[in-house]
Structure 1
Amino acid sequence: MRSDTVRLFQTLDHRCGYFPDRLARNLVIDPLAPNLAGVYDHALSRGFRRAGGHVYRPHCRGCQACVACRVDVAAFQPTRSQRRVAARNAQVREHWRMASYHPAYFELYERYIGERHPGGGMDDPSPEDFRRFLLSPWSRTRYLELREDGQLLGVAVCDISPQGLSAVYTFFEPDLPQRSLGTLAILRQIEFCRRRGLPHLYLGYWIEDHPKMRYKSRFQPLQILRDGQWQAMHGSDGDQGIPA
């Protein structure tokens, strides 16, 4: 991205959402930039993410723990454990919806945040918090609903781009850990990319030293962005973490 094409702003330092003893800051693309949707399409390949109407990437002092990562869809091969997850949830139906606020989404989101990520800075969300975080007036956002016998089990918030599918956020039924719904959501998103001919599923940031973020290395081949170049990273299916 050329500096004469779009303006970048730097946020003030704030408490890191992953490591409470660290300070974080972000680079944010000008939210008033013309054709922000087109800028976002290009920015995905440069390690940027969307939160609400803002497109950002970490730009922290002395810390490069957050590493942008994406799944090579054409080359992806599920592991044995991932195949078991798919088989265990074969009866789960997926529905792709236009992005919107709905009380059923918020109720599930609120319980998920409260039970899976307490103390993570997103506690006690309001409906307006949900809207600010997940909705955008300009992005091509869709919700992947996971349902079983009509019951809403999970929602994956996804942005569709020529670069691929960006997994913005996923929340799911916290009382069914044995179903591995976070893993299932990623597998279904990979299948969507294959059907649409999209080359990559962007999974946000892989953080090696954070137990809840290492799970992304289980989806191989995973590519990571280092020094401005995408390169292969080899992970282990035994890595622990919480798909989120």
Structure 2
Amino acid sequence: MTEHLPARLGLSQQFDCSYLADRQEQLLVILDPSCYTPCKFEQLLALGFRRSGDQIYRPHCPVCSACKSVRVLAKVFLPTKSQKRKLNKAKNTFCVKYSEQQRPEYFSLYSKYITERHQDGSMYPPEQSQFDSFIFCHWLPIMFIELWDQDKLVAVAVTDCMHNAVSAIYTFFDPDYEHFSVGTVMILEQLKFAKQYDKEFLYLGYQIDECTKMRYKTQFLPAQNRVAEQWLAI
């Protein structure tokens, strides 16, 4: 499977793209139940796939190839001076915790984040059922990397864990703390976690050069994009 796609695949209907307003999106979906294990999913990550809830997919748009998988080489990553400043600022204010179980505070934090930051997106208005079906997974271990301001939960980075890689699924945070560059801090914390547990890659999902809000993914180097079935250095 490292060279070929599974035999059982599905193709979604076309729908409006979440990132490029003038485009239609279509997804290739894994239908083979044997692929829904951490080991097989790690191989699929290397083929440009990703998960949403329990489902594994990758973009398969008929006239667009803007989405490019991106992964950071976690073992050799070194933060820039700017990233170090953000980490140090956060270190003086916050405490980082790891949890393998969700907490009741997660949905209220997610709800505030979506309501204040993403009212124009497909996840607004936030709903508990939508949150659960998007974030959680029954066949894969998940690590929740948390940022705390004393007894207040500030941010959560939902992180999938495999043998040789981790995958950043979604980060949500309290918009009141945006001046701490929380989104950047949480990726740096995921990289620290990956390095601590000897993981080779942190997968960051899809980079879309034409979408301004997705360009942050190229700020963590060294990294690679998957282009024309090859992983190439950014």
TM bin, normalised by shorter chain, reads over 0.9
- Cα distance in 1, alignment partners of residues 7 and 99 from structure 2: 31
Within-5 A mapping of 1:78-157: 78-91=79-92, 92-100=94-102, 102-157=103-158
Contact 1:71 1:223 in 2 (8 A): yes
1:1-244 residue pairs with structure 2 within 5 A?
Answer: 1=1, 2-3=4-5, 5-30=6-31, 33-34=33-34, 36-37=36-37, 38-91=39-92, 92-100=94-102, 102-233=103-234
Number of equivalent positions: 230
How big is each residue's C-alpha offset from its partner over 1:171-215, in whole Å with a ceiling of 9 and x where there is no partner?
011112210111111111101111110001000011111111000
Find the aligned partners of 1:183 and 1:139 in 2 and give their Cα distance.
25
Q: 1:125 to 1:221 in 2, by over 3 A?
A: same
Would you say the 8 A contact 2:74–2:195 is kept in 1? yes
1:82-129 Cα distance to aligned partner (Å, 9 max, x none): 0110010114212111243x4311111011112222211110121111
The Cα shift of 1:220 comes to 0.9
CA distance in 2, matches of 1:190, 1:229: 23
What's the secondary structure of 1:152's corresponding residue?
strand
In 1, Cα distance between equivalents of 2:143 and 2:36 = 18
Does structure 2 conserve the Cα–Cα contact (< 8 Å) formed by 1:108 and 1:171?
A: yes
Structure (1/2) with the larger helix percentage: 2
Q: CA deviation at 1:163?
A: 3.3
> Cα distance, 1:21 vs. partner?
2.2
In 2, distance between residues paired with 1:39 and 1:76?
25
- Find the aligned partners of 1:113 and 1:76 in 2 and give their Cα distance: 30
Q: Report the Cα distance in structure 2 between the residues aligned to 1:6 and 1:203, rounded to whole angstroms.
A: 26
Residue 129 of structure 2 aligns with an amino acid whose one-letter code is E
SS in 1 for 2:116: helix
Q: Quick check: 1:208–1:214 contact (8 Å CA) kept in 2?
A: yes
Structure-2 separation of matches of 1:231 and 1:35: 25
TM-score by length of structure 1 reads 0.90
3-state SS, counterpart of residue 194 of structure 2: helix
> Which of structure 1's runs of 4+ aligned residues deviate more than 6 A?
none
CA contact (8 A) 2:48 2:58 kept: yes
Aligned Cα RMSD in Å? Answer: 1.3
SS at match of 2:109: helix
**1:44–1:163 CA contact under 8 A, matched in 2:** no
**Structure 2: runs of 5+ lacking an equivalent:** none
Tell me which amino acid in the other structure corresponds to 2:34: P
Is 1:99–1:135's contact at 8 Å kept on the other side of the alignment? no
State how far apart, in whole Å, the 2-side matches of 1:34 and 1:48 are: 15
Distance 2:74 2:233 in 1: 13
Query: What's the offset of the Cα at 1:155?
Result: 0.3
> Are 1:142 and 1:159, in contact at CA under 8 Å, matched by a contact in 2?
yes
Question: Which amino acid in structure 1 is aligned with residue 217 of structure 2?
Answer: K
SS at the partner of 1:188?
Answer: helix
Quote how far apart the aligned CAs of 1:75 are: 2.1
CA contact (8 A) 1:45 1:163 kept: no
Contact 2:164/2:198 (<8 A) preserved: no
